[in-house]
Chain A
Amino acid sequence: MRFRLLPYLEALAGLVAVTWLAVAQPAVLGLASAALLFLLPVLLAATRGGVGPGLFAALGGAAAYNFFLIEPRFTFQIHRFDNLVSVFVLVAVALVTSRLATRLTAREAEAREQARLSAEVAELSALLAGSPASSALDKGIAALTERYGAVRLLDGAHLPERDAAFSSLDLSAAAWSAHNGDTTGHGTEVMPAADWTFLRLAPKNRTDSGIAAVARPSDGGTRAPVELDHLAELALLLGQCRDRDLLGRERRERERLEQGDELRRTFLASLAHDFRTPLTVLSGRLSELASTSEAARDALGAAHRLERLMADLIGAARLESGAIAPAHDSIDLTDAVAAACEALAVPPDITLTRAVPADLPFAAGDPVLLHHVLVNLIDNALRHARQQVALHAEAAQDHILLHVDDDGPGIPEAECERIFQRFQRLDGNDRESGSGLGLAIVRGFAEAMGMTATASSAPLGGARLTLAMTAYRAALQ
């Protein structure tokens, strides 16, 4: 405790006043009353100044009482035992009162401090409750920075390694805090030499790597454990606000993505729609003429190719934009193969054979996507075949394999992967009628449904394209 002069002066003034009163009015105040009067400065000094001034007043009072009031006056001689008692009483009063007063003051200070801390928590809570959460968080951090010095929020999983504000010791302390959930760094027992104190943003029982960093006090002092506890509480409040901010961000991001998806879907649907209307007129009119005109027949064939090219382009766009959500249905391959074969015009010089066993397990997939896949596979085979295209399906353990074989030029082994890439045609031959997208869509749609598409050599001499599907395992009653 620092030495303060004022209480001593006050005590002295009190003593002088009381002594003057007692000496000046001896007739009014008896000796006993005068002795009681000397208690006043003692109580006053002990309450206001503590033990030192209290004792000073007690001893001074006893001396003044002795010197000015007790016979023989103006000497310090004590003749009677009861006079000695009054000295003792004054000293005892001084001691007891000062102890009580000190304790009371301390408790008062403690209560004041507690109230201040609670007010700070409430104030921060109010700041952080504001919206939007991100600006509330900034305001909260600013308020804490003003009171405690620099405050930063860190992610323990991505600590700012290159930040000049944090030494390697700081980063170690931060990592420890993020990992073990303790408060670390300055003022704590864990790496106290660090320049920052690191506190968790979330309660210890939650896996969360967020931490708050509070700089060491600028006056060079050390933060007390009480203050650290308080800071830990404030850090949790910051953590709650950060959670709110993150949730809001996630929600906004999700909404943005959903809107984008919706927009893409709508765009692709309307694109398909806009293509189909003129194509309908074109192919409808041409097919009316096709029976009599070879030119119209050729044009009709071109219109049909255009139709499929459009379907492929839109399919590619759907794959690109991720706007595909495959259904998971049971599919009888007999149905799927029949529908795909019907959708295609088989050239008169090619025979298309199919062998789908009647006891084949059902496959799992999206019927519409699979239809597109099969149409493209068979169309690809028809375009490369010389005379023959053969489809056959077989069950192999958990899988169902569909092979599409042709007797065309085949695919060199080294190219078997490349043909599934976009705009790839072998030998740089660009006079063929394919779009270069067909097999890319086969692979893209197949993978979206959890199927695989591969190429190899067919027993017929040409290419074999194989679609491997998973069996549909829903229990039948």
Chain B
Amino acid sequence: MSRILCVDDEPAILRLLSVVLAHDGHEAVTAATGREAMARLAEGRIDAVLLDLGLPDRDGLELVSAIRAAGPVPVIVVSARSEVTEKVAALDLGASDYLVKPFDGDELRARLRAVLRQHGGPGSADAPVIHGPVTIDPARHTVTVDGRPVSLTPREFAVLQCLAEAGGRIVTHAALLEQVWGKAHRQDVEYLRVVVRALRLKIEADPAQPRLLRNEPGIGYRLEAA
């Protein structure tokens, strides 16, 4: 279905990724170094990149920027580095998502599907965004959950729209805050927490056990297509 470039210096991981991707019918193209990865990318026909940050020849974060600069190919970082700062840095540099090793095969495929859907679709700014039970119509500023309209405040709407546009990808706290509140409020996570809590009361079936608005501790939120 899609050609996925897998970049990792560990051959066993590359073989594992090939098997995991084959489940969804994807073809894995492998590279063991940053240089090799850029060469494969230049050959074209790559739909997404699964990137390990610990490469022998190049810093992985630097490679994220390089791949993003080379073209519109989405990058999912698959790394053994689990520090929050590392994840946020990768996402800020343009990575679409971040998975920590050891990863779950199902989860990897789900994230990849979200990323591919995002980049494959035609995407018009005013087209309604449908995300699981949630439908967001930016033109009319309306949101329906399971067909039932809900009324949101402008902030709530903006946060939901940001998450929906990311199509299941994680959006960092800082990115959400910057887009909805402005640059000056990049650090004010509690603003976001208040709005997310209110949103959950309106759109989640059980706000205490959120299925749509998912949090990743210390990183950000994603809108899950439950």
Contact = CB atoms under 8 A, between A and B. Distances in A.
Given A273-B80, A280-B16, A288-B19, A362 B10 contact: no
- Chain A interface SS verdict (over half): helix
Interface stretch (A166-174, A367-375, A415-423, A453-461): A367-375
Contacts of B209: 338, 354
Given A277-B10, A334-B210, A358 B201 contact: yes
Contacts of A332: 193, 196-197, 215
Given A277-B10, A338-B210, A329 B101 contact: no
A339 B105 contact: no
A330 interface: yes
A281 B208 contact: no
Contacts of A339: 214-217
B190 A370 contact: no
B81 A335 contact: no
Report which residue of A281, A357, A362 has the largest number of chain B beta carbons within 10 angstroms of its beta carbon. Answer: A281
A269 B54 CA distance: 12
Interface in B168-190: 189-190
Contacts of A284: 16, 19-20, 102-103, 105
Given A272-B82, A276-B80, A332-B197, A287 B104 contact: yes
A476 B191 contact: yes
Interface in A337-378: 338-339, 342, 354-358, 362, 366-368, 370-371
Interface in A439-477: 472, 474, 476
B222 to A, nearest CB: 11
A327 interface: yes
A269 B84 CA distance: 12
Contact of A269 (B83, B196, B200): B83
Contact of A367 (B19, B200, B214, B217): B217
B194 interface: yes
Contacts of A358: 197, 200-201, 207-208
Nearest to B84: A368
A75 B160 CA distance: 136
A279 interface: yes
B25 interface: no
Report which residue of A276, A280, A281 has the largest number of chain B beta carbons within 10 angstroms of its beta carbon. Answer: A280
B207 A334 contact: yes
- Chain B interface SS verdict (over half): mixed
B109 to A, nearest CB: 12
Contacts of A254: none
B190 A276 contact: no
Contact of B101 (A276, A356, A366): A276
A370 B196 CA distance: 19
Nearest to B19: A288
B123 interface: no
B101 A279 contact: yes
Contacts, number: 105
Nearest to B188: A474
B208 A279 contact: no
Nearest to B23: A288
B197 A276 contact: no
A40 to B, nearest CB: 96
B84 A334 contact: no
A319 interface: no
A370 B216 CA distance: 12
A307 interface: yes
Contacts of A269: 81, 83
Contact of B80 (A272, A366, A370, A371): A272
A332 to B, nearest CB: 5
A336 interface: yes
Contacts of B54: 273
Nearest to B211: A338
A332 B191 CA distance: 11
B216 to A, nearest CB: 7
A197 interface: no
Nearest to B22: A288
Contacts of A330: 189-190, 193
Interface string B63-93: 0000000000000000011111000000000
Nearest to A281: B12
A278 B103 CA distance: 12
A262 to B, nearest CB: 14
Nearest to B83: A269
Interface in B101-152: 101-105
A283 interface: yes
Contacts of A335: 193, 196, 210, 215, 217
A372 to B, nearest CB: 9
Nearest to A339: B217
A360 to B, nearest CB: 9
Given A277-B101, A283-B102, A368 B208 contact: no
A332 B217 CA distance: 10
A112 interface: no
A252 interface: no
B226 interface: no
A285 interface: yes
Contacts of B194: 476
B11 to A, nearest CB: 10
Interface in A34-74: none
Report which residue of B80, B102, B191 has the largest number of chain A beta carbons within 10 angstroms of its beta carbon. Answer: B102
A302 to B, nearest CB: 13
24 contacts: A269-B83, A272-B80, A277-B80, A280-B13, A281-B13, A284-B102, A284-B103, A285-B16, A287-B104, A287-B105, A288-B105, A303-B102, A330-B189, A331-B193, A332-B197, A334-B200, A335-B193, A339-B216, A339-B217, A356-B208, A357-B208, A367-B217, A368-B218, A476-B190
Given A273-B80, A335-B193, 17 more contacts: A276-B101, A281-B10, A282-B102, A284-B20, A330-B189, A335-B217, A338-B209, A339-B214, A354-B208, A357-B208, A358-B200, A358-B201, A358-B207, A370-B217, A371-B218, A474-B190, A476-B194
Interface of B: 10, 12-13, 16, 19-20, 54, 80-84, 100-105, 189-191, 193-194, 196-197, 200-201, 207-210, 214-218
